Amino acid sequence: MAAKYISLAVACFLLLRCAYTDAQMVPAVFVFGDSLVDVGNNNHLKLSLAKADFPHNGVDFPGKKPTGRFSNGKNAADFLAEKLGLPTSPPYLSLTSATNKSNAFLGGVNFASGGAGILDGSDNIFKQSIPLNKQIEYYSTVYGDMVQQLGAVGAQKYFSKSIYGIVIGSNDILGYFHSGSDLRDKYTPQQYVDLMVLTLRGQLKRIYNLGARKLVMVGAGAIGCCPSQRNQNKTGECNQETNYWSLKYNEGVRSLLLELKSDLPDINYSFFDTYTVLLNFIQKPSVYGFTEVKAACCGLGNLNAKVACVPISHYCPNRSDHVFWDLYHPTEAAARIFTYYIFDGSQPIVYPINVRQLALM
């Protein structure tokens, strides 16, 4: 009896939710990437140091709940789904024990994992994560389930209409420049960035071969300006070297997408220039409602970046006026503005088309 009432309440909630969100634009949204879009996969990784399932993360999330998002509230995966008129895609690892997986997969799945990179091993600093290769392996099992459920023709249509968001690369770059990394002995920065782009090429082709046609590729931000990087500079300046190689990586991704498009004419994509938007926040904060662009909101020490956002850390009273929530991640307020530009922005910020145009195709 009780269970029946609860499921009725859930159904009502879902109906109300549908009435208040935008109309659904695509069948599903699949998300790949790192902590910028992890919505709880790492909660299931016992050994990972990249976790956010404790306070003060989630202090502005409904119910003040730490969910595994590296944010005070929602992140870009939530806002993207919301704009597309869908509930946030559930974390893949939360579904592996569900009785009807295919059903739960229907609106999309999130494979993103804090610490993840394009290259296996970029998570070394964090001990454990799901690298992009593994995320695609998980996606291939979802693909198989959906083909069984919808039939080959139905599944092809479903996948080709769905949105594939990919937010990756920052951990590879941070990993290269991390003190103690042996990558610098093996590769010049240019060779390393080329290796990232070449590896990504194979990964995007695999996703394509598993039905994806609408890609949302998010470039690396000005990661040299995140509080952890500023904290390593006496005067709190951005790290020019990591910024430079983030730009180089983004350049590589842009050419890769152009090349893929001529190779695979039926793909369409949006490339988002996170780098420029983040620099705009920093250079013209008042335009966006920010007053603090250097220090993290949650943490301890210089720029709140000496100690991460852990339960003993302090957090700022107003999260809406900070760009950074912790030493690496944007606040909900910043993620909301990023997603606004991804969705409705124009060239050169989002290129060649924005996600609204991509979704409506």
Ligand X SMILES: *[C@@H]1O[C@H](CO)[C@@H](O)[C@H](O)[C@H]1NC(C)=O
Residue positions annotated with a catalytic role: 35, 326, 329
Single out the residue of 21, 128, 268, 302 in contact with ligand X (rule: CB under 6 A).
268
Which CB, 137 or 237, lies closer to ligand X?
Answer: 237
Q: How big is the site for ligand X, counted in residues (CB under 6 A)?
A: 19
Q: Say whether residue 63 binds ligand X (CB under 6 A).
A: no
Which one, of 317, 73, 100, 118, lies nearest residue 217 by Cα? 118
Q: Say whether residue 103 binds ligand X (CB under 6 A).
A: yes
Q: Say whether residue 353 binds ligand X (CB under 6 A).
A: yes
**Candidates 66-74, 99-107, 176-184, 248-256; binding stretch for ligand X (CB under 6 A):** 99-107
Specify the amino acid at residue 198.
L
Q: In which order are the strands placed within the sheet that holds 29-33?
A: 29-33, 163-167, 214-218, 268-272, 350-352
Q: Say whether residue 237 binds ligand X (CB under 6 A).
A: yes
In whole angstroms, what is the distance from residue 356 CA to residue 47 CA?
A: 38
Which CB, 4 or 46, lies closer to ligand X?
Answer: 4
Q: Say whether residue 148 binds ligand X (CB under 6 A).
A: no
Q: Say whether residue 346 binds ligand X (CB under 6 A).
A: no
**Candidates 89-97, 183-191, 314-322, 340-348; binding stretch for ligand X (CB under 6 A):** 314-322
Q: Say whether residue 234 binds ligand X (CB under 6 A).
A: yes
Single out the residue of 96, 148, 240, 255 in contact with ligand X (rule: CB under 6 A).
240
| Distances from the Cα of 285 to the Cα of 232, 276, 280, 304, angstroms | 23, 13, 7, 19
Which CB, 83 or 322, lies closer to ligand X?
Answer: 322
Q: Say whether residue 320 binds ligand X (CB under 6 A).
A: yes
Q: Show contacts of 70-73: CB within 8 Å, 24+ apart.
A: 70/35, 70/36, 70/38, 70/114, 70/325, 70/326, 70/328, 70/329, 71/325, 71/329, 71/330, 71/331, 71/332, 71/335, 72/297, 72/298, 72/315, 72/319, 72/325, 72/331, 72/332, 73/319, 73/331, 73/332
Question: In the complex, which residues of this chain contact ligand X (CB under 6 A)?
Answer: 100, 102-103, 233-235, 237, 240, 265-266, 268, 289, 291, 318, 320-321, 353, 357, 361
